[in-house]
Amino acid sequence: QHLIFANLLRKKIRTALTIGSFAVALFLFGILAVVRGAFSGLVDAAGADRLLVTSMVSFIESLPVSYRDRLLRIPGVKQVTSMKMTPGFYQDERNSFGLVAIDVENHRAMYPEFIIPDDQWAAFAADREGCIVGEALAKKFHWKIGERIPVLSRGETWEFNIRGIYRGRQPQHDADDFWYQRKLREEKVPRSKGYAGWYIVRVVHPDHAAQVVKAIDQEFANSAWETRTGTEKAFLAAVVKQMGNVEFLILSIGGVVFFTLLLVTGNTMAIAVRER
């Protein structure tokens, strides 16, 4: 043991650099593990009994609000709500996030994984210019309940009153959203009146999801606004896939880091042997 420590301390710079190489490699492995966990957690957090109904043309295309009642009449459908997202900026265009217009009447019941105090939700529902922000977003911009904040969207400045802050029941639940009332969006953007972005449908039982998906798309086939329906998990997995093969990228980077670490270790050992 004494000889081992004596040999390590004989070349202090080499020992420090070798230890530093191991530390950097372990740090990179940790970062890769966190990134991989974030992407997989996004998909795993999806509700097993929720479906997304979007336009056949594009996800950003709107669907009529009249579709809600027709969706509720389809066998196997339990609940329906809608969303519409537009880009928003706070103070600077680098501070971007999504402004999500929601249906106040049924959004909370659709997403029980988000925790919002009853009094905050009631204040939000009573205020046309109210909003609810995610805990992570509130921390990022140091927002507090009761503040009135300006948000730039579509070249205009919209002002909102922060009426509540929500958090997820689990760490993987997204807490970066900015919710406001769909009725306010219709006032700010008159051409959007009568239209919703996409629909979220809760089925009676997850095992019946495939039949409900087929029934929904058949219901709106050959209409002016045909639909594309799928499970929430499949939709999020497709979004992650569009960002590239994350799994392959992480494994490739990890392989390069590990190979480099072997080279550094082998070179250090070879020099030590030659010196001895």
Q: Quote the pTM value.
A: 0.70
The overall average pLDDT reported for the chain is: 82
- Helix, strand, coil percentages (3-state) for the chain, rounded to 5, are 50, 30, 25
Work out the widest C-alpha separation in the chain, in whole angstroms. 83
Name the 3-class secondary structure at 171. Answer: coil
pLDDT at 42 over 70: no
Q: Tens of pLDDT along 222-266?
A: 899 999 998 887 665 555 555 555 566 666 777 777 777 777 777
Question: What pLDDT was estimated at residue 226?
Answer: 94
Terminal-to-terminal C-alpha distance of the chain: 17
